[in-house]
C-alpha cells in the first residue's frame, strides 16, 4: 500500500553505482554478488535468505539498465549461475559481432 511522503522522517536520492564504479575490470560476478556490491558489501558477504532475496530484487533491474556497459558469461557448470562483468575495450576487440557492428 502506498504511503504519503510525510509518513517518513527523511527521503534520500536514489543513486546507484555505474558498472565502472562497482566492478573490478578483470572480475565476473553473479547476480547475488552484484546485489551485495550495490549495498556496499563484499561480494562474498554472508547475508540471510531474506536479505539475499531483496538484494537480488535490486540487482536484476540494475543489470538490465546497465546491460550496454556489461558483458555476460555462461555458467561455469550446467546448473551454475551466469556471470556479469564490466565491458572493456579488450572485450569489444574479442567479440566478432561487436566488430561487425562497428564497421557497418
State the pLDDT confidence band at 16, using cuts at 50, 70 and 90. Answer: confident
Number of domains, the chain: 1
Given a cut of 70, is residue 104 above it in pLDDT? no
Q: Which structural domain range is residue 99 located in?
A: 20-103
pLDDT at position 92 over 90: no
Query: Could you tell me if residue 3 is inside a domain?
Result: no
pLDDT at 98 over 80: no
Burial (CB count within 10 angstroms: exposed 0-12, middle 13-18, buried 19+), residue 40: exposed
Chain-centroid distance, C-alpha 6: 32
pLDDT at 95: 65
Tens of pLDDT, residue by residue over 28-75, are 999 999 999 999 999 999 999 999 999 999 999 999 999 999 999 999
Residue 85 counted as domain residue? yes
Q: Is 1 inside a domain boundary? A: no
CB-neighbour burial class of residue 17 (10 A; exposed 0-12, middle 13-18, buried 19+): middle
Amino acid at each position: 500500500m502506498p504511503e504519503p511522503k510525510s509518513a517518513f522522517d527523511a527521503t534520500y536520492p536514489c543513486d546507484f553505482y555505474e558498472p565502472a564504479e562497482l566492478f573490478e575490470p578483470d572480475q565476473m560476478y553473479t547476480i547475488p554478488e552484484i546485489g551485495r556490491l550495490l549495498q556496499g558489501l563484499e561480494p562474498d558477504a554472508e547475508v540471510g535468505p531474506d536479505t539475499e532475496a531483496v538484494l537480488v530484487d535490486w540487482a536484476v533491474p540494475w543489470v538490465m539498465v546497465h546491460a550496454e556497459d556489461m558483458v555476460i558469461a555462461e555458467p561455469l557448470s550446467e546448473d551454475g549461475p551466469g556471470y556479469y562483468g564490466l565491458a572493456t575495450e579488450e572485450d569489444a576487440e574479442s567479440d566478432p559481432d561487436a566488430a561487425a557492428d562497428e564497421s557497418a
